[in-house]
Amino acid sequence: MFDKVNVAERIFWIGVNDRRRHLFENIWPLPTGVSYNSYLICDEKTALIDTVDFTAGNSFVDGIEKYLAGRPLDYLVINHMELDHSGEIKEILQRFPDVKIVGNATTKRIFEAYFGIIENFLDVGRGATVDLGYHKLSFTLTPWVHWPETMMTYDTTEKILFSGDAFGCFGTLDGGIFDDEINFDFYSDEMLRYYSNIVGKYSPMVQKALAKFADVEIKCVCSTHGPIWRDDPSKVIGLYDKWSKYEADAGVVIIFASMYGNTEKIADYIGRKLAENGVRNIRIHDVSKTHISYLIRDIWKYKGVILGSCAYNLEMFPLMEQLCRELEHTGVQQRKLGIFGSYSWNGGGVKNLLKFAERIGWELVSDAVELHGIPKYEDLTRCDGISKSMAEKILMTE
C-alpha cells in the first residue's frame, strides 16, 4: 500500500523531490532543493500530465504502474518539453508504447529532436479537447512562458489549471504539498527567484498568457515545481500579474563591487541614510559574495536599485558588469537607479555604470558619485543626494 495524494476526484500528484542537485539548469543554486511535479488522472481513460527529471529513475514510472494497476496509460500531455519534465518520457514510451502524446506543433518538433519520430500524436494547438470520462481537458497555448512550446492544460470539470512552470518555485515539498499545508513565506521568495531569473525575460508573454485566462474560473493551480495552489490560487496569479508588469515594493537594494572595502563603505553609508530618510526595506549585497540569482530577485522585488563599483582596469568590476548585462537581457523596467563608485587613478566604474543606465533606461534619481581613494566622512556626505532623492521617489509612490 502507499499513500495517494489526491488533488481532486481521480487526479493524483505524483511529483518527486530533488535534494541532491546543487544547481538548477546548472546555474541557479538550490539551497532547499526543488520538486518536479507530475499529475496522473485515472478516469475512464488515463492521462499523465508532464513527467519529471530523469534523475528520479525508475521509481517514478514504477509509481505510475502502481496507480494504474494494470490499466494502460492512454495520454501523455506535454505542457513543456524542458528536460526537468521530459526526462522520463523515454521510459514512459517503453512501458506504454500505445500512449498518445498530446501537445502542439512546436512540442512535436522538439519531441522528435529528443526522442525520435512519433506517430501517435494529438495536436491540440487549434482547440482540440480530450475527454477522459469525468474529466475533460482543454489546452491553451502560452508560448514563451518560458519556452516556445509551452501550453497549459485546463480540467473543465474540476476547474484545475495545470500551468507548467508558471507559478512554480524552488524548494522541495517537505511534507506539505498544498498551499494550505505550508508556510507561504518559505516559498514566496523562491517563487520570485524562479520567476525573475527564468521567466521574467518573457514578462510580456506572461501578460498575454494571463489575459487568456482572465474570464476562466480557476479553483486550483497545479504547477510543475513547488506547492499546489488550491486554497487561494488568486494569490499566485496576482503575483505573476504584478511581476510581469514590473511592479515592485517600496524598498531599495544596494549592490556593490569592492576589492578592498572602499566601495562597501559607501554602500553602508548610503544604506544608513536611506533608513534615516524612512525607507524600511533595504538590502545590501556584495556582488562577489551573493549569487546573481538573488541579486536579480531583489531587483525584481524592490523599486529602488543602487549600484556601486570600484574602478577596474578602466571598466567597472567584472562581476558588476555581468549583473548589468544580465539585467539588460532580462529587461526589467520601471526601476529608480542610484550610482556610486570608488577609484584611485582616473575612474572607470561609474563611467560605465552610467552607460548601463542609459541603455536600460531606468530613471537616475540623482547625480552619480565617484569618490577618490579611501573615503573620509566629508566625502561620504556627497552621497546624501542619492539616498534622499531615492527615498522620496520610493516612498512617494508607496
Ligand X SMILES: Cc1cc2nc3c(=O)[nH]c(=O)nc-3n(C[C@H](O)[C@H](O)[C@H](O)COP(=O)(O)O)c2cc1C
Residues that bind ligand X (CB under 6 A): 258-263, 310-314, 342-348
- Does the protein bind Fe ion through residue 190 (CB under 5 A)? no
- Does the protein bind Fe ion through residue 88 (CB under 5 A)? no
Residue closer to Fe ion by CB (options 125, 148) is 148
One DSSP character per residue, 94-139 reads HH-TTPEEEE-HHHHHHHHHHH---SSEEE-TTS--EE-SS-EEEE
Contacts of 291 (CB under 8 A, 6+ apart): 28, 29
Q: How far is the CB of 324 from ligand X (least distance, A)?
A: 17
Stretch of residues binding Fe ion (CB under 5 A), selected from 14-22, 160-168, 365-373, 374-382: 160-168
- Please give the grid coordinates belonging to residue 196: 525573475
Residues 218-237 binding Fe ion (CB under 5 A) are: 224
Tell me if 143 sits within 8 A of 201, measured CB to CB. no
One DSSP character per residue, 343-376 reads ESSS--HHHHHHHHHHHHTPEE-S--EEEESSPP
C-alpha span between 345 and 236 (Å, rounded): 50
From Fe ion, ligand X, none, interface partner of 344 (C-beta below 5 to 8 A by class): ligand X
Tell which one of 50, 53, 74, 165 touches Fe ion (CB under 5 A). 165
Q: How far is the CB of 350 from ligand X (least distance, A)?
A: 10
Residue of minimal CB distance from Fe ion?
Answer: 82
- Please give the grid coordinates belonging to residue 286: 556584495
Three-state DSSP class for residue 183: coil
Residue 125, CA atoms < 13 Å, CB-side half-sphere: 12
Residue 349, CA atoms < 13 Å, CB-side half-sphere: 28
- Does the protein bind Fe ion through residue 53 (CB under 5 A)? no
Q: Are strands 151-155 and 136-141 parallel, antiparallel or unpaired?
A: antiparallel
Residue closer to ligand X by CB (options 161, 311) is 311
Q: How far is the CB of 176 from Fe ion (least distance, A)?
A: 20
Tell me if 339 sits within 8 A of 364, measured CB to CB. yes
From ligand X, Fe ion, none, interface partner of 346 (C-beta below 5 to 8 A by class): ligand X
- Does the protein bind Fe ion through residue 18 (CB under 5 A)? no
Residue closer to Fe ion by CB (options 82, 88) is 82
Cis check for the bond before 146: say yes or no (omega within 30 of 0): yes
Residue closer to ligand X by CB (options 29, 261) is 261
From Fe ion, ligand X, none, interface partner of 321 (C-beta below 5 to 8 A by class): none
Q: How far is the CB of 254 from ligand X (least distance, A)?
A: 13
- Does the protein bind Fe ion through residue 298 (CB under 5 A)? no
Stretch of residues binding Fe ion (CB under 5 A), selected from 84-92, 114-122, 154-162, 323-331: 84-92
Nearest alpha-carbon partner for 238 in 261, 258, 221: 221
Residue closer to ligand X by CB (options 329, 372) is 372
Residue closer to ligand X by CB (options 183, 346) is 346
The residues of the shown chain that bind Fe ion, judged by CB under 5 A, are 82, 84, 165, 224
